[in-house]
Structure formats: C-alpha cells, structure tokens
Amino acid sequence: MEFTARQIADFLKGEVVGDENVTVSDFSKIEHGKKGTLSFLSNPKYTPYLYETEASVVLVNADFVPEQEVKATLIKVADSYKALGTLLTLVEMNMPKPTGIHPLAFISESATVGKDVYVGAFAYIGDKSKIGDGAKIYPNTYIGDGVIIGAGTTLYAGVRIYNYCQIGDNCMLHAGAVIGADGFGFVPEQDGTWTKLPQIGNVKIEDNVEIGANTTIDRSTMGSTLVKRGVKIDNLVHLAHNVEVGENTAIAAQCGVAGSAKIGRNCILAGQVGVVGHSTIADRTIFGAQAGCAGNVRKEGQTLIGSPAMDAIKFRRMVAVEHQLPELYQQINCMQKEIEELKNKLNN
C-alpha cells in the first residue's frame, strides 16, 4: 500500500516540511534510501546522509534544523525513532498471520487450548498444559507437562518449555529459547566426583516479556526463577537458577547472570556483562559492555563499567592513566637511580 506524507504526518501528529503529496510504500535506511521509501534520522552522526539520501520521506525530530537543502520531504515528530517504531508496528500487525492447528501437531488430550490459537507442524503440547487465547506456537516447539502459556504469546520455531513453567500474556520467545532446563546444581564429593542436586522448581515469566533466540533460563532448585513484566532479553543470554529480574530491565546479548542473583527494576545490562551469584543489583543500575559485577550494588541509578565494575567516571580516569604507565614506569626508575646516587654521595 502507498501512503502520502500528509497521511503519515496526520497519523503521527507530525509536521510536513516539503511535498505533502509524495508517496511511499516501503522503508529504507537513510544511507541506502531509495525513491518511494520512508527513512528516519535519530542519531546525529547520520545527519550527512540526510542531504544525500534518495528516500522520499524522512522522519526527523521536531527540533531538527537542516544546515543545507534537503531533497526528501521531512516529517517532524517529537521522537523520530519512536515514531518509526509506531509505523513498523502498524505494518507488522497488518501482515498475514498463521492460523489453525496443523494436523501433524501433537496436543495431549488433557491439555487446554484457547480460542484462535495457532499450532504449527510437529509442535508438542504435553499433559495438562494450558494455552491462552490467540497464542501462536510455531513448528517444532516443545511444551512440556503442566505448562501455562498466556494469551497472545508467541513461541517461534524450536522453543523448548520444560515441565510446569509459566509464560505470561503477550510474551515473545524467539527461535531456540530454552525455558526451564535444570539449574547447574552439583555437590562435590570427597573423591572429586559430582553428585547432581535435583532442580524441582520452575521458571515464571510475567506479561510482556521478550526473550531472544537461543537464550536459556534455568529452572530453580526450589521455588521459581522469576522474570518480571516488561523485561527485554536479547539473544544468547543465560539466566541461572533462582535468578530474579525486575520489571522493565533490558539485558543485551551474551550476558550471564549466576544463580540466585537479584536484578532490580529498569536496569540495563549491555553486551557480555557478568553478574556473580547471590548478588543484589539496585534499581536503575546500568552496566557497560563486558562489565563484571563481583558483588552487591546498593545505590540506585549508577552507571558501572569494567571488571570488577566501578563508577564510570572513575573507570575512565583509570584508563587514561593506564595509557601513561610506560612513561610513568620509566620516570620512577630514573627517580630511583637518582635517589641511590644521592644516598651514595651522602654516605661518602
């Protein structure tokens, strides 16, 4: 479908600068813009592309003032990135959705399946499991016994949900995610071997949570590993047994959170962050990429970098000094030699 700049601006409650009748039917990155597409400018470092792009319409922030002529029609909105998300969501909602239950799917006779549910080929739904209205279970998905899947939740191909785990409403689990595998619980014996400690708990995921591809969340030893509402987890993340993640926290790829750690609300863990077991992280904590959290973080709202993680300003000062260490080492050696020479002179 084609839409004019005016139609898009009216939908977004934005302001048109340029030809309001120009039409678009697709999206493009601003650096690869093509005629008939809509793009956006959010990060200032991409501003030079605005003056070169062939995109017909570009979303920009309301306070943006071009420094030279722009060929594209601009639509000024309060937040161009958020406005783009609104448009993409609208497009995604109007895309065809799979429906019905495939004849090659297996659903236990004791399972309960709600209205308007999609179940793909070779999906497995175990005994006494409950699937909420409008859920989508893509092919080759495994749902064990006693599992609860909330209304409107999507499980993409190859997701594995172990017995008695619970997924809330309107969640999205991407391909290969594993929810409820055993926690890493072993007892060392005197002869050097390990005895497995049974993991009899489960995983509870609240509403509006998104979990990336090949992410694993382990079941608890007892009780529940808990991911609270609104949490967003990237691909290739591991949450160990009995971990708790607070509301609206975001965790980027390749992070690892060890057993029984508790992460607060509205935290951000950038890529490859590691959190030690049994630690407690205060609300609104931000960990920079590859930070290593070796203990509790009690003060809210801190930004921490490095390993062990420390205040970002202190870390940057330390890095600046590290670059001078070779010169400082030479200066110290010279000073030591001078001191020895002075001592010899005084002794003589």
Portion of the chain with pLDDT greater than 90, in percent = 86
Assigned CATH for 106-312: 2.160.10.10
Which pLDDT score is estimated for 31? 94
Domain ranges of the chain: 3-93, 106-312
Q: State how far the Cα of 202 lies from the Cα of 121, in Å rounded to an integer.
A: 27
Task: Please say if the pLDDT value at position 50 is more than 80.
Answer: yes
pLDDT at 1: 80
pLDDT at 320 over 80: no
User: Known catalytic residue: 238?
Assistant: no
Judged against a pLDDT cut of 80, whether residue 322 lies above it is answered with no
Whether the per-residue pLDDT at 93 is higher than 90: the answer is no
Q: 166-217 pLDDT, tens per residue?
A: 999 999 999 999 999 999 999 999 999 999 999 999 999 999 999 999 999 9
Burial of 117 (0-12, 13-18, 19+ CB in 10 A): buried
Positive or negative torsion for Cα 116, 117, 122, 127: negative
Calculate mean pLDDT across residues 106-115.
98
Terminal CA-CA length for the chain: 96
Instruction: Return d(Cα 202, Cα 241) in angstroms, integer.
Output: 9
User: Is residue 254 predicted with pLDDT exceeding 80?
Assistant: yes
Mean pLDDT, to the nearest integer, of 7-18?
Answer: 96
In sequence order, which ranges of 246-324 are alpha helices (DSSP H)?
312-322
Q: Which of 32, 102, 174, 241 is catalytic?
A: 241
CATH assignment of 3-93, given 3.30.950.10, 3.40.50.300, 1.10.3210.10, 3.40.1390.10? 3.40.1390.10
- Gap between the Cα atoms of 23 and 146, Å rounded: 51
- The model's pTM is 0.86
Confidence of residue 289 (pLDDT cuts 50, 70, 90): very high
Residue 311: pLDDT over 90: no
